[in-house]
Amino acid sequence: MNSACYSSLQKPWRYWPLLLIVGIIGLSVDGFSSAAFAQTVAPEQLNTFVVDESGPDVAEASLLPAPTPQRADYPNIGASSRSIVWVIAQMHLFFGALVLAVPIFVLIIEYIGFKAEDDRYDDMAHEFMKVSLTAYAITALFGGTLALSLFLLYPHLMGYVMRAFGSQVLVYAGLFFLESMLLYVYYYGWNALRYGNRKWIHLTLGLLLNAVGTTLLVVANSWTTFMMAPSGIDPTTGAVIGNIWEIMKGPLWNPLNLHRFIANIAFGGAVVGAYAAFKFLSAKTPAEKAHYDWMGYSSNFIAILAFLPLPFAGYWLMAEIYAYSQQMGILAMGGILAWLFVLQAVLICTILLAGNYYLWTGMARSEGSERYRWLIKYIATALILGFLVWVTPHNVIYTASEIGRLGGGNHPVLAPLGIMPAKNIAVFIMLICTFLSFQLYRRADKVITVSWQSWGNALLVAIYVVAIANVIFAGVYYGYFTNTVYKVGSSVIQVMSTVVVIVSGVVIDTLMFKGAKTLHVTWGKVSNRSQYALFALPIAFTWLMALMGYIRSSVRTHWHVYTVMKDNSPDNFIPTLQTVGNMVTLVTLLFLSFLLFIFWIADLSSTRQVPLPTGSNRARAETAA
């Protein structure tokens, strides 16, 4: 037996993740049935079906149409059912996003620390998990409350969804138990499984934790996308005719899976970044400041790196929504909900400005940053211009006198900036500029020594210049001077130009950094102002998630399950923008309040009281007497 085989047999735990994934896939593919278990019934049999061998009652139940509840069928508890579910569901989603995302990058950091044999990474990863662990219980509490609220307030809808998904919800519950156990073993076993081969066991536990967590995410996503774009049902009656896999894999499932997966990582990075900022500002010693400065930098790196590809995933989701139902797409981006995209622009620009600002101030940690400082003012100018273009609305409601003065319904100069081609140019240039800030930060503490550095630098600059020119050309020429099909198609050119900048930037820099001299970086040498940028990130992310989550859900309009089960509750209308703004702000403030509580609890767990002097209690009692 060769040594590789022997080594593999010595470490069988390395194959556990593979076995788990195979198991999950096995379960997903017809391993468990939908409650309707109507997979034996073909759609064409729907109207002729009389008796099935499994029993007439069961077979007829499987072909029940979607319920049609009337106004009186909805329980009235004296408050808006929609508002109650809105708040609870959003809180559950916030915390769910946090606790599923943090272990993903914690595992990567832990692995880097293990390979580099650097305990600092391990300590940082462990501390990130402390925040996640504290949030875990709150996630479960909101999840339970959400389930109870839905069954109480929307019993018919929940009955239908349970009929469609059947025993899959029990698999979800089982996975939740598994997730809890793995999470506790992963966190509390950290120091017991810290070095040598034991570390491999710990890393495997982390991988299993993430495999289960991601499965939980995609299972829950299937419920959401079933309500938006149902599959596996008879489109005329809503009767469940598909197996569980056909019900899960609707047209929006994978776009939403990808979008939420990436967004969760960006959100998780932003939240732990705020924790690091909180600890940095309250640190007493230079060592503590250095540790939390480094932690904040790592968090910001994770948040912005995950945020960069997010618009591409969002683009895919929106394109699939349009493809599924043009009415849905137009309502989202051309109807009343389009106004909320202006708010989205403000929030995304806040994230980009805060992320960039943090990088620029962080460059002060290294003396080598002086070489690149002159570029910051140009990046800042591009970001501000992009921001102004992005927030420019197309159709503003004017008074009669304003229309008279303008000479029409649209502003003669600003109106062209209100449509998508201009927004696309702004978005992609802002993303390219943000990546440039990252690249400058990475280069700040290095002196490149490779012989071909002039070629490498020239190629990098050329890629930036040509990519930006290409983004502007595609947006202006195809966006304003050709037909709509080319206008839409040209946005892929803009996506690819941005991707080329990012990928080539990483590749060229990695090659150029070989043998580079590394300058000293002083961690902790950063202004307090930069830490407020770390606070701005999770605030903007939270607001953004609440806002975009509302838009995604609201495109169903007056349907519980789109085109299949009507919403006849008193709340079956799209609320006013003011109501939306208030609700979104309310859930954001609520989440931030809980977050402060979590930070406080995480801090409290590492606080140890100094022992009282012997007899001090007695002495105090005597003094009082």
Identify the residue whose tokens are 């402390």: 130
Binders of another protein among 500-529, rule CB under 8 A?
A: 500
Smallest distance, another protein to C-beta of residue 329, A: 18
Residues 6+ apart with CB under 8 A from 323: 251
Angle in degrees, CA 159, 163, 166, rounded to 5: 120
Cβ atoms of 47 and 241 within 8 Å: the answer is no
Q: Which two tokens stand for residue 140?
A: 């479960």
Smallest distance, another protein to C-beta of residue 438, A: 20
Smallest distance, another protein to C-beta of residue 456, A: 9
For 407, the 3-state DSSP assignment is: coil
Is residue 490 near another protein by the rule CB under 8 A? yes
Q: Which two tokens stand for residue 193?
A: 């499984």
CA distance 532 to 529: 5
For another protein, the closer of residues 415 and 432 by Cβ is 432
Smallest distance, another protein to C-beta of residue 483, A: 7
For another protein, the closer of residues 348 and 474 by Cβ is 474
Is residue 497 near another protein by the rule CB under 8 A? yes
Indicate left, alpha or beta for 55 from its phi (over 0: left) and psi (-120 to 50: alpha).
Answer: left
CA distance 393 to 342: 7
Instruction: Choose which of 480, 486, 573, 600 interacts with another protein (CB under 8 A).
Output: 486
Distance in Å from the first CA to the final CA of the chain: 81
Smallest distance, another protein to C-beta of residue 493, A: 5
Smallest distance, another protein to C-beta of residue 385, A: 22
For another protein, the closer of residues 51 and 485 by Cβ is 485
Cβ atoms of 353 and 387 within 8 Å: the answer is yes
Is residue 480 near another protein by the rule CB under 8 A? no
Please choose, from the candidates 144, 130, 120, 145, the residue with its C-alpha nearest in 3D space to the C-alpha of residue 99. 130
Is residue 496 near another protein by the rule CB under 8 A? yes
Cβ atoms of 567 and 558 within 8 Å: the answer is yes
Cβ atoms of 555 and 487 within 8 Å: the answer is no
Is residue 346 near another protein by the rule CB under 8 A? no
Q: Which two tokens stand for residue 128?
A: 């990130």
CA distance 45 to 273: 56
Is residue 483 near another protein by the rule CB under 8 A? yes
For another protein, the closer of residues 473 and 594 by Cβ is 473
Is residue 612 near another protein by the rule CB under 8 A? no
Q: Which stretch binds another protein (CB under 8 A): 36-44, 267-275, 488-496, 560-568?
A: 488-496
- Show the site string, 432-471: x = touches another protein by CB under 8 A, - = not: ----------------------xx--xx-xxx-xxx--x-
Q: What are phi and psi of 565, to 5 degrees?
A: -130, 115
Instruction: Choose which of 7, 282, 381, 482 interacts with another protein (CB under 8 A).
Output: 482
Residues binding another protein: number (CB under 8 A): 26
Is residue 477 near another protein by the rule CB under 8 A? yes
Is residue 489 near another protein by the rule CB under 8 A? yes
Smallest distance, another protein to C-beta of residue 540, A: 32
For 585, the 3-state DSSP assignment is: helix
For 166, the 3-state DSSP assignment is: coil
Smallest distance, another protein to C-beta of residue 449, A: 18
Cβ atoms of 209 and 202 within 8 Å: the answer is no
Radius of gyration, CA atoms only, the chain: 27
Smallest distance, another protein to C-beta of residue 467, A: 7
Which residues lie near another protein (CB under 8 A)?
454-455, 458-459, 461-463, 465-467, 470, 473-474, 477-478, 482-483, 485-486, 489-490, 492-493, 496-497, 500
